[in-house]
Amino acid sequence: MAQIIDGRGLADKLQARLAEKTAKLKEETGRVPGLAVLVVGNDPASQIYVRNKERSALAVGFRSKVDRLPEATGQEELLALIETYNQNPDWHGILVQLPLPAHIDEEAVLAAINPDKDVDGFHPMNMGRLWSGHPVMVPSTPAGIMEMFHEYNVELEGKRAVVIGRSNIVGKPMAQLLLAKNATVTLTHSRTHHLAEIAKKADILIVAIGRGHFVSREFVKEGAVVIDVGMNRDENGRLIGDVKFDEVAEIASLITPVPKGVGPMTITMLMEQTYQAFKRSLKK
């Protein structure tokens, strides 16, 4: 039976450590990190995520501001607001909650954020830094997974890792972070032929395909480490992952639950990157 990776517990530990570091810097500089979050429209999931981010930012001692903009907000208005935060030295992290309404160009909005304040790591410059082997801002979910590997002493060098899902938010940056640790990485997706057969060869399996209970025990090698990034609702409204937890846990060595697995670590790494952006700003 697999050991369960306690993402919630690890996140609490790291956030407590971050609160101590923030308090110390406040004593030394009289300043604290500032995180600005912009959310457009009333998507229920986005509202929950934003509330959790705001709560975490305040808990670790940051200045936090959430701009909740109406669905009809125009692109130029949003870009102008981003620019005010770009220019304001009191704000070290800027986050635009995705998805955006259909009339707003997501790529243009992400590109408008100052790369040094892009704590989500989605700006093309930060993506390029990651792929060139010189990361500065890294998407928070993959960064959180790497912290889990560190905490649970998961050896990556020389191991075969399979990532299911090729999004810019999880799959692609995850593959690059694993490569940087000398894992041998296969990046797969919903149209990959013989997907279960490929996945079953993995020492480390990371699933971010966005389909509830997509991965069964037929996808998993005995003793593999399984990371479930999925956040889905079943027919009863219950939160489930992309992995059939009960059956996969019988053969994996380590596995993340849903909830209380990857999710809390995503927010924690967002806070950590805001803190690091603040520290870099002090050197300018």
In this structure, which CATH number among 2.30.30.790, 3.40.50.720, 3.40.50.150, 3.40.190.10 belongs to the domain 140-262?
Answer: 3.40.50.720
Output the pLDDT for position 44.
83
Return mean pLDDT, the chain.
96
135: left (phi over 0), alpha (psi -120 to 50) or beta: beta
Mean pLDDT of 249-254: 98
Mean pLDDT of 191-218: 98
Superfamily of domain 30-115: Leucine Dehydrogenase, chain A, domain 1 (3.40.50.10860)
Residues 6 or more apart whose CB falls under 8 angstroms from that of 284 comprise none
pLDDT tens across 90-107, in order?
999 999 999 999 999 999
Residue 165 marked in a binding site = yes
Q: Got the DSSP string for 232-275? A: EE-TTS-EE-SB-HHHHTTT-SEE--SSSSHHHHHHHHHHHHHH
C-beta of residue 35 within 8 angstroms of C-beta of residue 93 = yes
Mean pLDDT of 74-80: 98
Among the listed residues 6, 53, 117, 242, the single catalytic one is 53
Output the pLDDT for position 49.
87
As a whole number of angstroms, the distance between CA 246 and CA 260 comes to 15
Determine the distance from the C-alpha atom of residue 134 to the mean position of all C-alpha atoms in its chain, rounded to a whole number: 18
Among the listed residues 15, 97, 176, 273, the single catalytic one is 97
pLDDT band at 123 (very low <50, low <70, confident <90, very high): very high
pLDDT band at 166 (very low <50, low <70, confident <90, very high): very high
Least confident of 49-53, 120-124, 149-153, 260-264: 49-53
pLDDT band at 66 (very low <50, low <70, confident <90, very high): very high
As a whole number of angstroms, the distance between CA 139 and CA 49 comes to 15
Position 48 pLDDT exceeds 90: no
30-115 and 140-262 have identical folds: yes
Output the pLDDT for position 117.
98
Residue 68 marked in a binding site = no
Mean pLDDT of 107-124: 97
Beta bridge partners of 225: 204, 254
Position 125 pLDDT exceeds 90: yes
pLDDT tens across 8-32, in order?
999 999 999 999 999 999 999 999 9
Q: Look up 12 and say whether it is catalytic.
A: no
Percentage above 90 pLDDT, the chain: 96
Cβ count within 10 A of residue 8: 16
C-beta of residue 177 within 8 angstroms of C-beta of residue 143 = yes
Percentage above 70 pLDDT, the chain: 100
Residue 166 marked in a binding site = yes
Position 284 pLDDT exceeds 90: no
Q: Look up 159 and say whether it is catalytic.
A: no
What are the Cα distances from residue 277, in Å, to 31, 93, 182, 202, 267? 13, 7, 27, 35, 15
Q: Look up 97 and say whether it is catalytic.
A: yes
pLDDT band at 79 (very low <50, low <70, confident <90, very high): very high
C-beta of residue 56 within 8 angstroms of C-beta of residue 267 = yes
Among the listed residues 120, 203, 228, 242, the single catalytic one is 120
Ordered by start, the domain boundaries in the chain are 30-115, 140-262
Position 245 pLDDT exceeds 90: yes
